[in-house]
């Protein structure tokens, strides 16, 4: 089992972690962080890396959970992002194969950021052929914070192991929450693969759409070959 916040058009390592477990929980029940991966990501353009940021309603709204944050659709961001993606990737080998079902999801009818990002994540999951079960933390009964929250979610779905991204190691090592429930913690490692990209020198850590549009069905094998769960 792994737990990650829902992010906007995540990078390939996100799906490497998802591919490495049998249950993947989207942690949408914690506080939203502005200007984070929860609402933005990067694509490669002729001028280098470019941020795509999703505007959200902010006036009078503080300390919201991720699942509560509302999109600011008045900005017309969906059309702007779609145009930026098309300008950068329309000539890539697999753009049309994936874009026709993916990009319309930017116009999600829901007013909520998480509903849009999760719809995109699920579509990308399907396009990568990942069969992992995906759940939303907001639909579960987790409690506590940090390691305690993660452990409570693991306990609720009877996880036999928890696979964590390396960035969480600090606070997990300081906690005995997983020891108390008898669930071992393992760490995920992703060695970013290189693949053909337009516009010169290879840029890692772009959104997964960069890999999909350039590599097509080979993307799943590239991700799997770059992923390792450390025992």
pLDDT of residue 45: 98
Give 217's pLDDT tier (boundaries 50, 70, 90).
very high
**Residues 51 and 40: beta-carbon distance below 8 Å:** yes
How far apart CA 84 and CA 97 sit, in angstroms, is: 18
pLDDT of residue 70: 96
**Tokens in use for 130?**
């990942």
> Within 53-145, where are the H helices?
77-89, 95-102, 113-127
Please give the pLDDT value at position 154. Answer: 97
pLDDT for 63:
85
Cα angle at 11 between 96 and 145, to 5 degrees?
Answer: 140
Query: CA 31, CA 14: separation in Å to the nearest integer?
Result: 20
Average confidence (pLDDT) over 192-203: 97
Which residue range(s) make up the domain with 183?
A: 2-230
What is the pLDDT at residue 106?
97
How many domains are contained in the chain?
Answer: 1
Judged against a pLDDT cut of 90, whether residue 115 lies above it is answered with yes
Of 186, 61, 57, 65, the residue nearest 136 (C-alpha): 65
What's the confidence (pLDDT) of residue 224?
A: 98
**Total residue count of the chain as it appears in this document:** 231
- pLDDT, tens digit, for every residue of 56-112? 998 877 789 999 999 999 999 999 999 999 999 999 999 999 999 999 999 999 999
**Tens-place pLDDT, residues 7-21:** 999 999 999 999 999
Predicted confidence (pLDDT) at residue 40 exceeds the cutoff of 90 = yes
Mean of per-residue pLDDT scores for the chain: 96
Top pLDDT among 50 and 167 is at: 50
What pLDDT is stored for residue 58 in this prediction?
84
pLDDT at 25 over 90: yes
């Amino acid at each position: 089992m792994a737990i990650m916040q829902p992010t906007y058009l995540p990078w390939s390592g996100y799906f490497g972690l998802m591919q490495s477990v049998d249950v993947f929980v989207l942690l949408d029940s914690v506080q939203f962080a502005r200007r984070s991966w929860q609402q933005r990501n990067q694509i490669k353009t002729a001028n280098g890396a470019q941020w795509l940021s999703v505007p959200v309603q902010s006036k009078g709204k503080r300390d919201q959970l991720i699942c509560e944050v509302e999109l600011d659709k008045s900005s017309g961001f969906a059309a702007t992002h779609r145009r930026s993606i098309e300008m950068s990737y329309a000539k890539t080998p697999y753009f049309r194969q994936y874009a026709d079902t993916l990009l319309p999801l930017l116009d999600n009818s829901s007013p909520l950021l998480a509903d849009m990002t999760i719809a995109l994540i699920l579509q990308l999951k399907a396009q990568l052929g990942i069969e992992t079960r995906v759940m939303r933390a907001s639909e579960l009964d987790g409690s506590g914070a940090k390691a305690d929250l993660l452990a409570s979610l693991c306990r609720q779905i009877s996880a036999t192991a928890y696979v964590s991204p390396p960035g969480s190691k600090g606070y997990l090592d300081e906690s005995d929450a997983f020891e108390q429930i008898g669930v071992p913690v393992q760490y995920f490692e992703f060695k970013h693969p290189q693949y053909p990209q337009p516009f010169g020198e290879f840029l890692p850590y772009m959104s997964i759409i960069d890999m999909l549009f350039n590599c097509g069905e080979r993307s799943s094998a590239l991700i799997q070959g770059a992923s390792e769960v450390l025992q």
